[in-house]
Structure 1
């Protein structure tokens, strides 16, 4: 079952995070902006309240939480209720598929990646943004997950685990960016965005065939 209940119940708490930790949010946006093109049809899988799809110019968002979709629609995103493992779109529909801080919440990562692959055009790209399980922020989130209604049900992944799943799904070409190098309470402005992974807690991957 999709882990949508906390996002239906605690929608305002979710929204408040972006206001409280705006420096972290802007850092993540800046990282993903490197990989999301300004043209071509795009979808965000697990769009939430549209905090990424809206600024990044993504056309369509899908999510199982209706309360979140209402916010996404207000941010100019065309919304569809559904889950990552069963996308209600035809093959070869999009040039970009975006998944941000959602991969830890899906029920089936291989199925999610296979569906993303299916709906992408031959030249399309999958862009994933996530908190690396082995990173400092990832470790703190895991240590305190029982106190957080969102992360209580999350299953964090390492970059190596995600790369293995992407390769199994047929993706072969990868680019990486990273940001957020300290705990988010300590940020004083957006963090730099650098190539690679292993130092920043937030990692972006652009995957194609």
Structure 2
């Protein structure tokens, strides 16, 4: 999570996306709400401005960007500056670890999952939300990523790649949900949330140890 500059320089643009694409945002929230436990102590890794942590009841947020953390704090999140590959938390601290549209920005996916496993309670869950690289939206993002200050240095991944990395990190049971079937800017009402993956561009995975 070393590419901090765009998030420091374009914080308003980042946060404004959620208002400009409200129905897409609400669809993603609904998908993740199916996977994030309603109780327990949670952390969002790559919390950004807290757009997901706050409504999903996640109490703690970690991010390398100071300006992002300031926004997350305003949304009631307890914030910590840091990176996904070296989490500043003790073993077994959390019941839930959440990563939303963050996995494409980490420097080391395997180390990120290893660290997530370390800070989770043995009965805890890792929940990931991301745009699949092979999905319609993912392909457009990749084609246009040089034009986007946030995605310019991103590495988009497929669901299959994440499944393999999760298995390697010791995660066993996996549950999948999906949504976003149109280009986000063209969605005029919340999209349905379905089980599985392969059709929706936004995929949610709940992984347990």
* Bin of the TM-score, shorter chain as denominator length: over 0.9
Task: Tell me, in whole angstroms, the C-alpha distance in 1 between the residues paired with 2:123 and 2:32.
Answer: 19
Residue 185 of structure 1 deviates from its aligned partner by 1.8
TM-score scaled by length of structure 2:
0.99
Task: Tell me, in whole angstroms, the C-alpha distance in 2 between the residues paired with 1:98 and 1:174.
Answer: 14
Residue in 2 that maps onto 1:152: 152
- Per-residue CA distance 1:136-179 (angstroms, 9 max, x = gap): 00000000001000000000000000000000000111000000
Task: Tell me, in whole angstroms, the C-alpha distance in 1 between the residues paired with 2:115 and 2:185.
Answer: 36
Task: Tell me, in whole angstroms, the C-alpha distance in 1 between the residues paired with 2:185 and 2:39.
Answer: 35
Moved over 6 A (4+): none
Task: Tell me, in whole angstroms, the C-alpha distance in 2 between the residues paired with 1:190 and 1:75.
Answer: 23
In structure 2, list runs of 5 or more residues that go unmatched. none
Matches within 5 A, 1:1-209: 2-209=2-209
In structure 1, list runs of 5 or more residues that go unmatched. none
Task: Tell me, in whole angstroms, the C-alpha distance in 2 between the residues paired with 1:141 and 1:169.
Answer: 28
SS of the residue corresponding to residue 152 of structure 2 reads: helix
Task: Tell me, in whole angstroms, the C-alpha distance in 2 between the residues paired with 1:34 and 1:5.
Answer: 33
Moved more, 185-194 or 128-137: 185-194
Task: Tell me, in whole angstroms, the C-alpha distance in 2 between the residues paired with 1:55 and 1:139.
Answer: 29
Task: Tell me, in whole angstroms, the C-alpha distance in 1 between the residues paired with 2:17 and 2:43.
Answer: 23
